[in-house]
Amino acid sequence: SSAALAAAAAAAASVSESSGGKPLVGIIMGSDSDLATMKAAAAVLEEFGVPLELTVVSAHRTPERMFEYARSAHSRGLKAIIAGAGGAAHLPGMVAAMTPLPVIGVPVKPSGAHLDGLDALLSIVQMPKGVPVATVAIGNAANAGLLAVRILASADPNMLDRMLAYQAGMTDTVLAKAAKLEQ
């Protein structure tokens, strides 16, 4: 709902404020109905302390807003854009066409969709040579968040340390489970 989206956007803004920084990652989605999927990307960024912004930008319903968003993103200080959409999911590709920033596409499976998100996946992943979109699995917005963190980590030693700690934590969790199974 739009109330949920407003709450999520406000939470994103407060993360940015509390870290004293302008947003480094922009999360956009074609519809507020995508929020249930896309909030996982915001949760990852919040966990890593990455200032973010989050809003709805629709390629088909608000094309001029998409143009403005994509054109201004790099000069506003964003370092990466995560774009999610379902169905004929043109948002990530169109945004990638209008920004020099890395764009991560999230194929969203809208509820009640007939094609299970495969339409969105193919719309996002089949970009022509020259206009890349890093595409994650259908619905896997968490991985989009993690990829954005890795992009930031390539130029930020603190973020690199956090990613190393996250990976070590994952390894420990799996090893602990394996040890339990072996008992």
Q: Closest distance between ligand RP5 and the C-beta of residue 38, in Å?
A: 9
Q: Closest distance between ligand RP5 and the C-beta of residue 31, in Å?
A: 3
Residues that bind ligand RP5 (CB under 6 A): 30-31, 33-34, 58, 85-87, 108, 110
- b/e burial code for range 112-123 (CB count within 10 A of at least 16 → b): eeeeebebbbeb
Name which of 26 and 51 has its Cβ closer to ligand RP5.
26
Q: Minimal CA–CA distance to 24: which of 146, 127, 117, 148?
A: 148
Q: Minimal CA–CA distance to 92: which of 100, 104, 80?
A: 104
Name which of 51 and 87 has its Cβ closer to ligand RP5.
87
Q: Closest distance between ligand RP5 and the C-beta of residue 32, in Å?
A: 7
CA–CA distance, 139 with 127 (Å, rounded to integer): 19
Name which of 31 and 99 has its Cβ closer to ligand RP5.
31
Name which of 58 and 135 has its Cβ closer to ligand RP5.
58
